[in-house]
Amino acid sequence: ATYLTDFVVYLGDVVTANNIPIANASLYWDQAISPTRSRGIPWASVFGNHDDAPFEWPMEWFAASGIPQLVCPVLNSGEECSFRGTSRLELMKNEMDNNVLSLSKSGPQDLWPGISNYVLQVLSKEKPHTPLVYLYFLDSGGGTYPEVISTAQADWFKRISEEINPDSRVPELIFWHIPSKAYKKVAPKFRIHKPCVGSINKEKVAAQEAEMGIMKILVKRPSVKAVFVGHNHGLDWCCPYGQLWLCFARHTGYGGYGNWARGSRILEINERPFSISSWIRMEDGSVHSEVILS
C-alpha cells in the first residue's frame, strides 16, 4: 500500500523474447524499465504474450546464405547463444530482487502458470491507511501457455475483492495484457464514435482464446470502473461495457509491429473532489481522447 503521485504500469510485452538468442532476457527487461527507474518513479508490471515466448528461428538462416557468423549479442566474455527463452518466474524474480521501486508481485503459487496476479492499494493522502483505489493486475497468458484468464484467476479476484472491499465502496481498476472477448462486442466498426473515445482504430481486436468468467464477475461489481489492456498496437480507444469502461493503452515502445505514432495512456486520480480520468499523451506532447471513468 502506498500514496502515489506518479506511477507507471507496464502492460506486458516489455520485451520480445522471440528475437532474443541469449540465456537471460531479463537483461533486456532491465533496459526497458530503466527510464522509469532512473527517474525514481515506482512501477508495476504484468506479462504479455511475448515476454517469455520461445525463440523464433529466422527462416533465412537455413537458406543458401546460412546462419550468420555472429547471431548473439556480445554481452560479456564467455556468453554463448541460448534459445531456450526466459520464464515468467525468472523475469519477475529478477525485477523484484533488483528494483526497490518495483511493486510487482509473482502472485499466488496456486494460480500457476499465471504469474503476475496481485492487487495494490493506493492510499488516501487526507486519511492515512484508508484505501482510495484498488489496482488489480492479472496475467492474461500467451507466450508459453494459452492466452486466457483462467477460472482460478477469476475465482481469486472474486475472493480477494470481496475480502478487502466487501461493500464495493472503494473504486477498482483492472490491468492485464490481452483483451477479453468482451472487447470485440464493444469495438467500433470503422470510425470511433460516441460513446467510445479514442483516435486510432486500425485493426481488429485480438482477443483471448476463451472467456472463463472474469468478465461476468467484473460486470456485476459496481466498484470496477475500467479494464486496461495492451496487445493491439493499432487501437487506443475506450468503450463502455455495462457500467465499466474497456480501454486500450497506446503503443508506447519502439519494439513490436506497426509504425503508428507512439503515445501512452495517462490515468489521473484526484481525491478531492474524487475523480478518475484518462487520456492519451503522445510522444510529441499533444493530448487527446479524455474520458471520465468515475
Q: What is the pLDDT of residues 78-97, one digit of tens each?
A: 556 667 778 999 999 999 99
pLDDT digits (tens, 9 = 90+) for 34-48: 999 999 999 999 999
pLDDT of residue 114: 87
Segments forming the whole domain that contains residue 24: 8-292
Average pLDDT of every residue of the chain: 92
Confirm whether 248 is domain-assigned. yes
pLDDT of residue 84: 75
Beta strands in the chain (DSSP E): 8-10, 43-45, 118-123, 131-137, 172-175, 224-229, 238-241, 244-248, 263-271, 274-282, 287-292
pLDDT digits (tens, 9 = 90+) for 189-212: 999 999 999 999 999 999 999 999
pLDDT of residue 74: 53
Q: pTM for this one?
A: 0.93
pLDDT of residue 78: 52
Confirm whether 2 is domain-assigned. no
Can you read off the three cell numbers belonging to residue 47? 506479462
Whether residue 72 is predicted with pLDDT greater than 70 in this model: the reply is no
Confirm whether 67 is domain-assigned. yes
Can you read off the three cell numbers belonging to residue 121? 492499494
Mean pLDDT, to the nearest integer, of 47-52? 95
Mean pLDDT, to the nearest integer, of 266-271? 95
Confirm whether 1 is domain-assigned. no
122-133 in b/e form (b: 16+ CB < 10 A) is bbbeeeeeebbb
Residue 185 dihedral angles phi and psi, to the nearest 5°? -70, -30
CATH of the domain at 180: 3.60.21.10
Confirm whether 214 is domain-assigned. yes
Confirm whether 60 is domain-assigned. yes
The structural domain count of the chain equals 1
Q: pLDDT: is 109 or 284 the higher one? A: 284
Confirm whether 27 is domain-assigned. yes
Confirm whether 78 is domain-assigned. yes
pLDDT of residue 85: 78
Residue 119 dihedral angles phi and psi, to the nearest 5°? -130, 140
Q: pLDDT: is 284 or 66 the higher one? A: 284
Can you read off the three cell numbers belonging to residue 166? 466487501
Alpha-carbon distance of 146 to 241, in angstroms, equals 25
- Choose among 261, 268, 265, 257: nearest CA to 294: 268
> Could you tell me the end-to-end alpha-carbon distance of the chain, in angstroms, rounded to an integer?
21
Integer angstrom CA distances of residue 130 from 6, 133, 223: 19, 9, 16
Whether residue 107 is predicted with pLDDT greater than 50 in this model: the reply is yes
Q: pLDDT: is 83 or 77 the higher one? A: 83
pLDDT of residue 73: 56
